[in-house]
Amino acid sequence: MQLDDLLQRYFATTDLSAVAPDTFAAGIEHCRVDFGLEEDRGKRFALWSFLHMFGSAPDLDVAFENEEDREAARNFMDLLAASEDDGAS
């Protein structure tokens, strides 16, 4: 899953500055539904990561049955936090 493809699918554009608030909310809801229906672990992780970047991801214990997936999600969150800290310096 490519970020541009996800942006296009859920927001109908790759330019987030052009997304109206209602369109953004609808896109996030659509992504949450897709996440809930997705059975492939890799695709679920990609959708969860996408939602996490927008502050809309479900809690890890709800999102992932597998402890390995929850640990991968924690690592992802740590990496994002570290990159945000580096950008603030």
Number of folded domains in the chain? 1
- DSSP assignment, residue 1? -
Q: What is the mean pLDDT of residues 11-32?
A: 97
Query: What is the pTM (predicted TM-score) of this model?
Result: 0.89
In three-state secondary structure terms, 62 is: helix
Give the C-alpha separation, 26 to 58, whole Å: 16
Q: Identify the pLDDT of residue 89.
A: 54
Asked if residue 80 has pLDDT above 80, the reply is yes
Res. 77 pLDDT band, cuts 50 70 90: very high
SS (H, E, C) 9-56: HHHCCCCHHHCCHHHHHHHHHHHHHHHHHCCCHHHHHHHHHHHHHCCC
